[in-house]
Amino acid sequence: MKSIFSVFLLFTSAGSVYGQVKQRHERMGQSVEFPTEVKNGGNVMYLGKVIAHVISGARRPLSNEYDSRLQWNSSTGLFSLSGLKMEDKGLYKVVRNDGTQSAEEKYQLTVYVPVSKPHITITHNEYPCTLLCAVERGTDATLTWYREGEENYGSSPVHSAPHLYLPQTVEWSGTYTCEAKNSVSTERSDPLTVGDHCTGINTWGIVASVLAAVLLIALIAVVIYFQCCEQKQGETVPDTEEVQEEPWWTFWSWF
Ligand SMILES: *[C@@H]1O[C@H](CO)[C@@H](O)[C@H](O)[C@H]1NC(C)=O
């Protein structure tokens, strides 16, 4: 029992050193080449099943779809799978068996739908404005906002399209673009420029501060004006008590 366990341990540790799994990320519809030479003998396995066989330097058909989709180049000894479909994802094992030497390499294939061009729409066009970036296609895509002159303004967690949305509340006016990206493709939206009406500095704030400034200046002017008149009147009219009341009445009558 103990020896069986040690043999098992030996095999698993040898396997992990020997056959490290190589990650392959490929576009749907394209082809992938497995860079393991099989010239005289060997096979290709997919999910534990033999899908192609080479014996004595010749391909032996197995009467499956891989006879045509999985090409074998007899001069390079390399296999390549064409017309990739989403269902082709999984573990491939290419085994070389030359009689004296044998080797195997594992490939973990992931098939991606490339991202389509994202589009920006304004979903709320007054303060606080909100933008929405949407992409229709793309496997494991990430959406990222960019504001002109800045990088990586904000990004979404990884999701799977179709219909991947990234909302954004606009704090500053400027030109925004949205980028969709996955392992096999990157696309950017057309830029969208957002005006000042979207920002926190709203027009009522500006109007209020201008009004306050105008009132303050008017008040100072009025004070200066009455101080001057008070002096003039003081020269001609000696009764100061009557004069002091007069200007404040005139001042308040303006409102
Ligand atoms: C096999 O590979 C060689 C070298 O890359 C290439 O020139 C040749 O066209 C390939 N043959 C086929 C049938 O694809």
The tokens for 30 are 């394209």
Average of pLDDT values for 203-210? 72
How much distance in Å is there from the Cα of 144 to the middle of ligand 1? Answer: 41
Q: Is the CB of 82 under 6 A from ligand 1?
A: no
Is the confidence at residue 154, as pLDDT, over 80? no
Residue of the CA atom closest to atom 11 of ligand 1: 73
For residue 209, give every residue at least 6 positions away whose Cβ sits within 8 Å of its Cβ, in sequence order, or none: none
Give Cβ neighbours of residue 191 (< 8 Å, ≥ 6 apart): 148, 175, 176, 177
Confidence of residue 126 (pLDDT cuts 50, 70, 90): confident
CA of 26 to the centre of ligand 1 (A): 21
Provide mean pLDDT across the span 17-27: 82
Q: How far, in Å, CA of 15 to CA of 37, rounded?
A: 19
Nearest to 162 by CA among 113, 122, 119: 113
- Mean pLDDT value across residues 54-78: 94
